[in-house]
Structure 1
Amino acid sequence: YLAGKGSLRNICCTYEISSPRVLRDWIKKYNGHKTIKSHNKQGDRIMTNGRKTTYEERIEIVAFCISNNDDYQATADKFNVSYQQVYTWVRKYKANGYEELIDRRGKRKDTDEITESDKLSAQLKLIEAENRRLKMEIDFLKKLKEVERRR
């Protein structure tokens, strides 16, 4: 465009630029000697996907983060995990120690570990689910009788 080899609109069509306004902004930045970035990389680093880690790795990650003045971003980058996960692990460690870093997802409690209130709440959930199923069955039968009466 600066060489005079086409209009804003023609150059946008040739190089599949979304609008002449975008090209105009790029030209202003170029003439102002500012760097043009393809996109904001700050958001990319924060939202990176984590990976599966072992208990020992989590301990190492937390230790590294704390020794580096709680620099969560540097820790996340070094160990290839998400910023949020590092933050969560450090917070759990500071609240309750290294035992909190154990991954307990999908683990059932032993029968001796289950308290009476846990047993009652589980039983209540089962009864509520059965109650919902029976209500649905009754509603279905009512609807079926209504359809049969119409015939």
Structure 2
Amino acid sequence: MLYNNGKEPVRKRVRKMGRKVSYDEKIEIVKWVLKHNHDYKQAAQKFDITYSRAYAWTQKYEQANDWTALKDRRGKTRGRQPADREKQLLKEIRDLKAKLREREVQIAFSKKLIEISNREVKRPNDIKRFKK
């Protein structure tokens, strides 16, 4: 009984890791694809990249109609710095007010905790566990 009708099984291709492509190379590849009537397969062979990468970069460019769409935006980005000294001071004031509110809540909570723990004292001669 033959499961594959006498044909030899096809060996699986080992996928190789894609090479790193710079921003300028991406622009060159997309220009080539657009010039050659969206021939992604030919571009993949010519530039040693995958079909899907050529297709994705071309689509990104066509949707945004801007070359900056091809830039790699992964990784950490630095936080935006306040434009001038006044904005920086306003941000610092907001941060300090937030810290102050947090401390006030902590103090109110600890006072309430002391009050609740002192309710359990039945006789005045008992030693209180917490001081007010």
Q: Tell me the TM-score normalised to structure 1 length.
A: 0.44
Higher helix share: 1
> So what's the TM-score if we normalise by structure 2?
0.50
